[in-house]
A and B are shown apart, each in its own frame.
Chain A
């Protein structure tokens, strides 16, 4: 339990020190890059042609609740997947 508390405070300290803004490097990432980096955290990267634009929007919201993506990540990934 001691290690859990230490770890939680460590994460909170990182949050407070850095604030909640993203760096320019992260902000410049394309939807394709975010798709490759985030989807494979749990499963294989999905093929954009497997679902329609409307379906990707719904799936993207579901994935955001699972992977806890930021709003910008979700929108960029959906935008990339909606391109055929």
Chain B
């Protein structure tokens, strides 16, 4: 029996037709996937563009800062030979206790940081710092511009209103302040301890006609530069204790003046201890400054034909203790902080500005958040004049009481 050729051809035709139908079907399906792919690809491209626009680059700009304002009431009694004077004032803000300081930070990668903090204190618009820092290597930060000098701990870290537990700054701690220059600093590990160094070279301070020292300002007053440095050790592995030693040395006389060899030497010892002793957070801060200016002869303001001299040595010490029951179960109590500070400030006897000054401050703070605080501070001070009456100094004693209600926040 043989194969019917017609039937064979018919079967081949049917098979071929079926094959072609399937091929066409597959081609049709391929076309459908491509169209879907195109839409999907378009969506992915759009999303990719959106993500790229949101991705952060190497630069970042941030505005932070602080503001402090409130109310201060003062009663001052001045006693002098043959008399007594009492004054009472109150104010919603003054140069010492009002501040609005926005801080501008610009970062480029993790190597460069620009910091600029202008400050309005109720009277003038000034600048707290304006500098650029280069993070050169682990433990090495290079800084240039206008910055707070590395002297002590208070001015660089504790002076901000939302950090200071009390409403006012301790007397005599303001120098040396900020200056123009260059700085190198860093923190490094030391086994279970840490240490830090901070060294600057700046324009320097200025000697005034009555022997006081002040910031030189924008115009340098001589060709000498001032060196300032701080060395600190954190001997405990939990960083709860820091001990720092600072020094400053420089010429303070205006070029061409009669004080051409006037040099200032400053020294400071600072202490910072923060410890959780359940349920309390104990905070101890202190700093002691010593300022010495080489002996000079100053013009007698009462008689310009005469000069006078004195041992131009000043000292200022503050010690502050604050306690906060952070682990208390009471929602109000845990946000209360009790603070006490003692200040001792001695300026040169027989100068125009000689005094022995002591101050005690009591404070009660309520923390609205980690960076916003309501402060009530009561400050008592007693000052005995040691100025030379023959050159126009005023004698007597001054007793002053200040009550502050203050709000401060970091933003």
Contact = CB atoms under 8 A, between A and B. Distances in A.
Contacts of A38: 239
Contact of B189 (A14, A21, A43): A21
Nearest to B372: A44
Contacts of B196: 68
Contacts of A1: 265, 267, 290
6 contacts: A1-B267, A8-B245, A14-B190, A40-B274, A58-B60, A58-B113
B367 A68 contact: no
B157 interface: yes
Interface string B98-123: 00000001010010010100000000
Tell me what chain B mostly uses at the interface: helix, strand, loop, or mixed.
strand
Nearest to B163: A43
B192 A37 contact: no
Nearest to B113: A61
B60 A57 contact: yes
Which 6 residue pairs of A and B lie closest in terms of their CB atoms, listed nearest first? A22-B189, A68-B187, A68-B196, A44-B370, A58-B107, A71-B138
Interface of A: 1, 3-4, 7-8, 11-12, 14-15, 18-23, 25-26, 37-38, 40-47, 50, 54-55, 57-59, 61-62, 64-73
B212 to A, nearest CB: 21
Which of the four size classes fits the interface of chain B? 35 or more
A65 B105 contact: no
B213 interface: no
B261 interface: no
B370 A57 contact: no
Contact of A44 (B56, B60, B290, B371): B371
A31 to B, nearest CB: 14
B40 interface: no
A62 B281 CA distance: 25
Interface stretch (B26-34, B86-94, B229-237, B343-351): B229-237
B237 A26 contact: yes
Interface string B347-377: 0000000000000000000010111000000
Nearest to B324: A44
A74 B246 CA distance: 24
Contact of B267 (A4, A20, A59): A4
A8 B231 contact: yes
Contact of B238 (A4, A37, A55, A62): A37
A14 B370 contact: no
A62 B105 contact: yes
A7 B371 contact: no
Given A11-B231, A70-B139, A70-B188, 15 more contacts: A4-B247, A11-B232, A20-B139, A25-B237, A26-B237, A40-B281, A47-B369, A58-B60, A59-B105, A62-B105, A64-B135, A65-B133, A65-B141, A70-B138, A70-B187
